[in-house]
Chains A and B, each alone.
Chain A
């Protein structure tokens, strides 16, 4: 049981601002699809429109080719996992899980059996008669997943469900969610502001800002070929240079001209910046003539174990960072040393400035 979800020119206007602005995207059946963006970018609003809690002020929401206009949340083939899980505290675990079946008039014995089966599926047997308050955070998480799966939804909607868990459990639950999704083949729509979560779990990711989708792609492309400056800076770290394109593949900055790759829609006249990932940078004492090199002074080295981050400043005071693999034969430079930040043409991406800036306020 799975279905596609399509948004066709969907907009949502609230009293004072437009939360979602003309969004169109098609999510394939059985896909693990994430909306990634800062708080206030409209991702939760999209989820609430798919679930039916709010009706878009413009455009269409389709689930499995069917227009959902006017169909309430209790009639849609979706199940939602809430950020705070919203388990019913006064019902036992099995009653929680089988609530959706109770609504559908399934008899008690069958419901109980189904609840036990689902507890097996989420690897949490033997807690059927407990109350949610008697479970740990991770266990409650699993109960919430089981409760949503019980109604056999075609589309599962997840609103940052892992944000309340501690780091280790969160990473474990990532793999777990992914496995459950693969097993059940239900379409998952996942909302998060955590890029690690989105990249690790999803088949495709939509990066959002200011109510608009900035880029939809597979995680590798989102990271390696960001569509614009917002995507590049929201997903992952960057060394950013301002300047302008002086020829098709030359970007002139205040610390020299670089041989670069241009991103989508970058032309000579429009505003763009140069982005280089710290892990694509190497530090060389004497760079080859003609290569992209920026002289810099080391300010700080933080050793993380498998890699080390070297923080530097160039002559204009711009902060630069390099992420170097741990290699005892070639240790990172010491603080105060001068070196050159060197990067290849294919890793130096000139991207359009995006007017998409994260809202500061909480969602």
Chain B
């Protein structure tokens, strides 16, 4: 601070610190705080705001439990009936399918990252990277739309498979997996590079001799990966998983376009409360609920897999 003062003088020092503080306080913390504060107040007609009814409570948060409904759950031929708040149910499904998406992305990226980092001739790496990156220059909206069209009823995928004689009639591609198949498939495509690059980066730093040493000592391919490659890549895997999971949970665009009639994403619930019902207080409460729950969930998962926060920041 004093070094900065000496170097640039009072005006520039004051200006740069002031602007940073303005950005942080006014543009980041203030809106958050505003929403946070609003989330504890009831949604009231305009004239009642600030009136005797306008008191702090946890009602907005607790309302996630108060929309009971009967959920019919088909699970490998068994049907379960569940009486649960619909908002809570959507919230749980959002977490579950975000986890599934993250896992699929990891399962696809791990072999690819290993191939790119350890098998592929380095001279051809640039070509492969370009092939992977160029589609990501297209906006997320367009990529989501592309899948929307691709998976549409009687859309290109159906027509292609019909022409190949593999299927007859139309297929509801987005209706499988309890109605989340379209959302999961598209999210995997849209967010996969956020998984690939951290895992790839972790793998490039692995000494090839480690893999050879494991093989030389008799380890099978599976054990070499399980005991040597995966432990080495764990920070990268964790980093990719957290990123993809958070992106999935927070996505509004993909579920908005690819939901089936029977599926909903929790971000849509928040959106509906804020923009359809104009209940910003309730929406804010749900948004914070999601933030807190996801943070807790990620922290627990990291604890379970013994990954430190510092590992992810690497």
Given A51-B216, A74-B217, A86-B210, 12 further pairs, Cβ under 8 A? A53-B212, A53-B216, A73-B212, A73-B215, A80-B212, A82-B209, A82-B213, A86-B207, A87-B213, A99-B217, A103-B218, A151-B217
Chain A residue nearest in CB terms to B207: A86
Q: Mark B171-215, 1 if CB is under 8 A from A, else 0.
A: 000000000000000000000000000000000000101101111
Contact sample, A vs B, 24 pairs, CB 8 Å cutoff:
A51-B216, A53-B216, A73-B212, A73-B216, A74-B216, A74-B217, A74-B219, A75-B218, A78-B216, A79-B216, A79-B217, A80-B212, A80-B216, A82-B213, A84-B209, A86-B213, A87-B213, A88-B228, A91-B227, A100-B217, A103-B223, A148-B217, A151-B217, A151-B218
Max chain B C-beta neighbours (<10 A), residue from A53, A86, A87, A100: A86
B232 within 8 A of A: yes
Given A80-B213, A86-B209, A88-B210, answer yes or no on A74-B232 (Cβ-Cβ < 8 Å): no
A265 within 8 A of B: no
**B residues apposed to A, CB below 8 Å:** 207, 209-210, 212-220, 223, 227-228, 231-232
Chain A residue nearest in CB terms to B214: A99
B254 to chain A, nearest CB (A): 36
A147 within 8 A of B: yes
A336 within 8 A of B: no
B308 to chain A, nearest CB (A): 13
A202 to chain B, nearest CB (A): 22
Closest 10 CB pairs of A and B: A86-B209, A100-B217, A86-B213, A103-B218, A80-B216, A74-B218, A90-B231, A82-B209, A103-B219, A73-B215
Please name all residues of chain A whose beta carbon is closer than 8 Å to the beta carbon of B207 when the two chains form the complex. Answer: 84, 86
Please name all residues of chain A whose beta carbon is closer than 8 Å to the beta carbon of B215 when the two chains form the complex. Answer: 53, 72-74
Please name all residues of chain B whose beta carbon is closer than 8 Å to the beta carbon of A74 when the two chains form the complex. Answer: 215-220
A61 to chain B, nearest CB (A): 15
Number of A-B contacts (CB under 8 A): 59
Please name all residues of chain A whose beta carbon is closer than 8 Å to the beta carbon of B214 when the two chains form the complex. Answer: 88, 99
User: Considering the complex, which residues of chain A in the window 131-153 have a beta carbon less than 8 Å from any beta carbon of chain B?
Assistant: 147-148, 150-151
Given A88-B228, A90-B231, answer yes or no on A104-B212 (Cβ-Cβ < 8 Å): no
CA distance A80 to B217 in the complex (A): 8
Chain A residues within 8 Å of chain B by Cβ, number: 26
The prevalent SS among residues of B at the interface is: helix
- CB <8 Å contact, A99 and B209: no
B72 to chain A, nearest CB (A): 47
CA distance A87 to B207 in the complex (A): 10
B31 to chain A, nearest CB (A): 43
CA distance A53 to B231 in the complex (A): 23
B226 to chain A, nearest CB (A): 11
Chain A residue nearest in CB terms to B208: A86
Please name all residues of chain B whose beta carbon is closer than 8 Å to the beta carbon of A90 when the two chains form the complex. Answer: 231-232
CA distance A150 to B217 in the complex (A): 9
A95 to chain B, nearest CB (A): 9
Please name all residues of chain B whose beta carbon is closer than 8 Å to the beta carbon of A53 when the two chains form the complex. Answer: 212, 215-216
Please name all residues of chain A whose beta carbon is closer than 8 Å to the beta carbon of B212 when the two chains form the complex. Answer: 53, 73, 80, 82, 86
Chain B residue nearest in CB terms to A53: B212
- A103's partner among B209, B217, B231 (CB-CB below 8 A) is B217
Please name all residues of chain B whose beta carbon is closer than 8 Å to the beta carbon of A84 when the two chains form the complex. Answer: 207, 209
- CB <8 Å contact, A104 and B218: yes
B212 to chain A, nearest CB (A): 6
Please name all residues of chain A whose beta carbon is closer than 8 Å to the beta carbon of B210 when the two chains form the complex. Answer: 86, 88
Given A88-B228, A90-B231, A90-B232, answer yes or no on A100-B209 (Cβ-Cβ < 8 Å): no
B124 to chain A, nearest CB (A): 14
A349 to chain B, nearest CB (A): 41
Please name all residues of chain B whose beta carbon is closer than 8 Å to the beta carbon of A73 when the two chains form the complex. Answer: 212, 215-216
- CB <8 Å contact, B216 and A99: no
CA distance A315 to B219 in the complex (A): 65
A133 to chain B, nearest CB (A): 14
Max chain B C-beta neighbours (<10 A), residue from A90, A91, A103: A103
Q: Mark A63-90, 1 if CB is under 8 A from B, else 0.
A: 0000000001111001110111011101
A225 to chain B, nearest CB (A): 37
B238 to chain A, nearest CB (A): 14
- CB <8 Å contact, B219 and A99: yes
CA distance A150 to B219 in the complex (A): 14
A190 to chain B, nearest CB (A): 16
B34 to chain A, nearest CB (A): 46
CA distance A51 to B209 in the complex (A): 13
Please name all residues of chain A whose beta carbon is closer than 8 Å to the beta carbon of B209 when the two chains form the complex. Answer: 82-84, 86
CA distance A88 to B223 in the complex (A): 13
Given A86-B207, A90-B231, answer yes or no on A103-B213 (Cβ-Cβ < 8 Å): no
